[in-house]
Each structure stands twice: as C-alpha cells, then as structure tokens.
C-alpha cells in the first residue's frame, strides 16, 4: 500500500472476461495492447485479471478494481448471447439498473438494418446499459462500447473482446477521454520519410522497437507503391512527465530506425523532430 | 460462490508476475499455455492475474489464490536480480521463512559450474526457498522451480517466466504431481501415420485444432525427411471425466485431421485408437 502522500500516476486495471481465456483457447493479446496504450497515456497499470463468464466472478473483480483504480477497462462479454454478462455485472457492481439506452439502440439498430437483419431481443440486449452510461460507437461491429463515469475521476469502460472492435473504440472514444484524467504529459514527435524499403520489411522492426518502448507510439503510413517504389512516413510520438525526457525517448527511437534503414539499404529523404501540433 | 455441495473440478489460479506484462511490453503466452494444461489435467482455471514486481501486490494475490484454489501457479520473478521477488512473496503469504535449500543450491551451483561461472550471492538467492519447499530441476535455465505443499490438497508452484524453462519444468515435475490432485480422468489416444505432407504444412492446422480442443493434447513427431519424404506420427490424447467422452473427443479430432490430410493430398498409412498404455 503506497503511503498517503504518494504522488505517482493514477492507477488503471484491466479485466478481461471470457471462459475461452481461462481454458487457454485464446492468448489474450488485448490486455497487452491496452496496457501499452494506458502506460503511454500516463497511467500505471497495476492489475490485469482474467475472469470467466460468471456474474459473481466479474462483479468481484470489478468491485476490487473500482475501489482502487481511476480507470477500469473491461474487454469481452458485450455481445448478444446469454454468455455475454459484462454489462449486467457492471450494473450490479455499481448498484445501478440496466436500462435501454436510446442512443445505443440507434447504433445497434443501424448496424443490423445495414445488413438487412431484424432487431431481435438478443440484439437489443446490447443497448441495455447500466444507468448513466454513455454508448461508444463501434465502427467495426455490432456492440457499442460503454463508458460509465463514477464521480469525477473514476471511469469504467467496457469494450468488446474482438481486437479490431476494441482497438477502434479505444482509439476514437476512450483515449481522448482518458487524456483528461491522466497527469499532464509532455509529448515529442519525430518523423522519417523512408524510401526504398517495403513496409512489410519494416514491420517486424517497428513491432520490436514498439514493444521495447511502451511510452512511445509508433505509426507508419505507406505513401508510395509497396514494392515498386516504397515510401513510408514513419512517426514516433513519445510521452513523458517532462519534455526533455519525451525528447530523449523519441529521438533515440528515431535514431535506431535511421540506422536500421541505412543497414537495409534504404534512404532517408526527410527527418524532423518537434513538439506535436 | 458455489453452494457447499458443489462437486465441480478443483480450482486453479495462475499468477503471472512482472512489470513488463503490465506495461504491455510482453504478451503473456505462458498463462494461456498453463491454462490449457491445467484444463486438460482436469482443473478449472478460475483466475489469471498479472501483477507487478512488488512484494505487497504479489502477496495480496497469492493470499486470495491460496484461500480459494487447490492449485496456485506463479510464473516469473525467480531470477537472481533484485526485481525477482516471487519466493519472498510466497514465504510472506504463507508465513514461512526463506532458507537456503541444499538441493536447490546443488542445482544452481551445477548450472553455473558447467558454464565456468562463480556462485555469487545473487545466484545463491535462487536457492533460498520458503521453508518446506521442494526445488524442481530446470533443464534449460538457472532458476529451479519451487513446489510448496500446503496441507494435503493445496499446492503452490512457482515457475520461471522464460517460456521454455516454464514448460520444461511443468511437464517433467508439475504435471505428474497435479495428476494426483486432479479428479479421476479417463484418457483415450488416437494416432495417425501421415505421409507426404511436411510438418510445417501441418503445423498451423495442428495449432488451430489444438486451440479449439483444450481437453485434448496433440503432438506430432516427424519421422521421415521434412521435404523429400515426410512422415509424421500424429498423436491425440483426450482427457474427460469418463471414457466414452474421451473417446468421442479423440476420435472426432483424428477424423478432422484425416480429412485435412486427404484434402492436402497426403496419405494415411496407419490409424489406431485405444486406451493409452
């Protein structure tokens, strides 16, 4: 237990829900992805817990997490089937009713009407949220994400278990909200324009460097033709409590990329660093 | 909480220890591997928890796990550095002293003497176990695994975080002990001798089928030349509460492999099923 004058970063807990995780049918890559994002945003991830699809198990872990963390993120259990119990558990853990949310219902209805599928009671279930929640649009799948504020610096976010849906909702709707909760962070961005190396060749290098640098966000945008005349815009955004630290992180990563590109016979046609706009 | 007459399988909890898991630098594949093995052995994995390298965090989760599970497996934190705190936490959570274990010291000393390296105090630390523990030989690395029995049906096993070390110790020294704790299970084994398909072609199919069937253990042994004249001995061992169920699992999996092999243009030169000897 930290002393009461402890001034570290706010705590985040991740709860991954699903029997398939506990029988080992699935390796949980979502939690590591979220842990990286949360760390980058300035939170300290203190627990990652996997629980089966049982209300009492989910509620137990939610209550522990809510008591101690500023941010609680759940993944999984938002779908239409009987096994999807996350929202019922969030409602129970926070002493709220589940109620049909009009905005969520519109999102779910729109998703199915585009596919010419009817809105069955099972599908409608995805729009029943703990009272006071805000649905988060899911650009990839049917189930909206759900954001519930508890007081002014505590938040529960429920995301789908499908990685593409989880990531899309987090980046569009959760990260911006969490930035406001996180301690002030300084950012520093560097970029390289890389010529002559296909993105697929660079991908494993990006992945390895990204894995080693959780407080940096690395993204590549292909600009030329993948094989004939590949051009890649590579951006590194580092986050740290102060600017000089962010600068060191971003610039040392970009230096590492620079060296790898030269080693691979590529060309750097532009290199810039600065405060991101 | 299950009713007191609940007769389900004994519970297992997995605690994965390491800051690198909580900043998302590493995807925790160990837990899924262990969850599959434990499920196969007849346990119900009820929690997988990741905690940072902090004594108080590890002790908190160990105490919860010990109170509720028959089997607690930890991974990580067994090495020689200051950050490796698992055994100290196990000692604290169970109210025991750490003491130098002669058998463990022999294992550690042998590992380093083979490499012509001295036995420093940091290395000796890996042989300081909670009183009453049994060291488990690590055929791959320096740190022995540690098995601690608490009464007659409760057990804590601490394994290294390096996957190859964790797996080797589990399969050689932990699984046989856990079998005695697990409910009686019936086994059924089927095998195929497959000709004309390289093991590398079969690998993704094996992986997919294995992932979908956590109560079966699938193993392939290459017998011919990988490309010129590939011959694979494929074995499926299914585990279930009774024999007829184990039979159905093993035989339906072998049928699936049979169909895949024929589709790929391979040949089955032998197919057998029966009680494993």
pLDDT digits (tens, 9 = 90+) for B163-191: 999 999 999 999 999 998 888 888 899 99
- Residue A241: pLDDT band (50, 70, 90) is confident
Q: Which residue has the higher pLDDT, B272 or A3?
A: B272
Closest approach of B232 to chain A, Cα-based (Å): 24
Contact B35/A21, CB-based, under 8 Å? yes
pLDDT confidence of residue A4: 38
Taking the mean position of all CA atoms in its chain, how far away is CA B200? 24
Cβ-proximal residues to B255 (8 Å cutoff; 6+ apart), any chain: none
Residue at token pair 């600065």? A274
Tens of pLDDT along B100-145?
A: 999 999 999 999 999 888 898 889 999 999 999 999 999 999 999 9
User: How far does the CA of residue A16 sit from the closest CA of chain B (Å)?
Assistant: 9
pLDDT band at A54 (very low <50, low <70, confident <90, very high): very high
pLDDT digits (tens, 9 = 90+) for B41-68: 989 999 999 999 999 999 999 999 999 9
Which of B23, B51, B52, B218 to probe the A interface (max A CBs under 10 A)? Answer: B23
Q: Do B36 and A25 touch (CB under 8 A)?
A: yes
Question: Using only C-alpha atoms, what is the Rg of chain A?
Answer: 21
The answer to whether the Cβ–Cβ distance between B214 and A34 falls below 8 Å is no
Contact B264, B205 (CB under 8 A): no
Using CB atoms, pick whichever of B23, B36, B47 lies closest to residue A23: B36
Q: So what's the pLDDT on residue B7?
A: 52
Better-predicted residue by pLDDT, A33 or A186: A33
> Is the per-residue pLDDT at B3 higher than 80?
no
ipTM, 2 decimals? 0.80
A41 in the Ramachandran plot: left (φ > 0), alpha (ψ -120 to 50) or beta? alpha
A52 shares contact with chain B (CB less than 8 Å): yes
- CB pair distance less than 8 Å for A24 and B47: no
CA of A264 vs chain B CAs: smallest distance (Å): 25
Buried b (16+ CB within 10 A) or exposed e, A126-156: bbbbbeebbbbbbebbbbbbbbbeeeeebbb
Residue of chain A with shortest Cα separation from B56 = A1
Indicate if the pLDDT at residue B155 is higher than 70. Answer: yes
A with B: how many residue pairs have Cβ under 8 Å apart?
103
Confidence of residue B201 (pLDDT cuts 50, 70, 90): confident
B49 and A47 in contact by Cβ < 8 A?
Answer: yes
Please state the separation of Cα B34 from the chain's center in Å.
4
Q: Are the beta carbons of A145 and A178 closer than 8 angstroms?
A: no
Phi-psi group of A193: left, alpha or beta (phi > 0 → left; psi -120 to 50 → alpha; rest → beta): beta
Comparing CA positions, the residue from B145, B175, B218, B181 lying closest to residue B34 is B175
Q: Is residue A51 helix, strand or coil?
A: strand
Q: Is the pLDDT of residue A7 over 70?
A: no
A70 forms beta bridges with none
As a whole number, mean pLDDT of residues A208-237 equals 83
* Cβ(B157)–Cβ(B72) below 8 Å: yes
Q: Which two tokens stand for residue B19?
A: 């800051």
| Band of residue A38 on the pLDDT scale cut at 50, 70, 90 | very high
Extract the tokens encoding B71. Answer: 């089997």
| Cβ count near A62 (within 10 Å) | 25
Which residues does chain A have within 8 Å of residue B50's beta carbon, measured at their own beta carbons?
A: 31, 47-49
B45 to A22: CB separation less than 8 angstroms, yes or no: yes
Residue B272 clears pLDDT 70, i.e. is over it: yes
What does the mean pLDDT of chain A come to? Answer: 91
Domains contained in chain A, CATH given? 11-181 (3.40.980.10), 186-274 (3.30.70.600)
- Mean pLDDT over B17-36 rounds to 93
User: B207: distance to nearest CA of chain A, Å?
Assistant: 10
Q: Using the predicted structure, report yes or no on whether residue B1 has a pLDDT greater than 60.
A: no
Task: Return the beta strands (E) in chain B as ranges.
Answer: 11-17, 44-51, 71-75, 98-100, 128-130, 134-136, 145-149, 155-159, 186-195, 216-222, 231-240, 267-274
Residues of B in contact with A47 (CB under 8 A): 22, 49-51, 57
Mean pLDDT of A11-25: 94
With an 8 Å Cβ cutoff, is B30 touching chain A?
no
Q: Between the CA of residue A151 and those of A26, A85, A103, what are the distances in Å?
A: 35, 24, 22
Whether A36 and B48 lie within 8 Å, measured CB to CB: no
Specify the DSSP class assigned to residue B10: P
Contact A163, A33 (CB under 8 A): yes
Tens-digit pLDDT profile for residues B212-265: 888 888 888 888 776 678 899 999 999 888 899 999 999 999 999 999 999 999
Nearest CA in chain B to A13: B22
Per the CB < 8 Å rule, is A24 touching B35? yes
Cα B256 from Cα B132, distance rounded (Å):
47
pLDDT above 70: residue A6: no
State the Cα torsion A243-A245-A246-A248 to the nearest 10°.
Answer: 120
pLDDT of residue A226: 63
Cβ of residue B39 closer than 8 Å to a chain A Cβ = yes
pLDDT, mean of residues A214-242:
84
CA pair distance B77, B84, nearest whole angstrom: 4
């Amino acid at each position: 237990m930290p002393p009461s004058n402890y001034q570290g970063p706010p705590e985040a807990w991740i709860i991954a829900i699903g029997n398939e995780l506990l029988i080992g049918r699935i390796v949980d890559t979502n939690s590591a992805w979220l842990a990286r994002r949360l760390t980058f945003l300035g939170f300290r991830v203190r627990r990652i817990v996997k629980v089966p699809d049982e209300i009492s198990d989910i509620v137990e872990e939610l209550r522990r997490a809510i008591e101690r963390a500023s941010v609680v993120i759940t993944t999984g259990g938002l779908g239409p089937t009987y096994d999807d119990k996350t929202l019922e558990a969030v409602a129970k853990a926070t002493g709220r009713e589940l109620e049909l949310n009009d905005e969520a219902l519109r999102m779910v209805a729109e998703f199915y009407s585009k596919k010419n599928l009817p809105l069955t009671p099972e599908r409608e279930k995805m729009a029943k949220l703990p009272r006071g929640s805000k649905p988060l649009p899911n650009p990839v799948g049917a189930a909206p994400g759900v954001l519930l504020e508890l007081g002014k610096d505590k938040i529960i976010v429920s995301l789908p278990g499908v990685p593409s849906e989880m990531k899309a909702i987090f980046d569009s709707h959760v990260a911006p909200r969490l930035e406001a909760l996180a301690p002030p962070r300084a950012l520093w961005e560097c970029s390289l324009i890389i010529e002559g190396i296909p993105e697929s060749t660079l991908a494993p290098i990006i992945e390895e460097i990204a894995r080693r640098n959780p407080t940096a966000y690395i993204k590549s945008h292909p600009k030329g033709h993948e094989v004939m005349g590949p051009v890649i815009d590579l951006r590194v955004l580092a986050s740290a409590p102060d600017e000089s630290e962010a600068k060191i992180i971003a610039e040392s990563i970009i230096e590492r990329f620079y060296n790898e590109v030269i080693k691979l016979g590529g060309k750097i046609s532009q290199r810039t660093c600065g405060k991101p706009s």
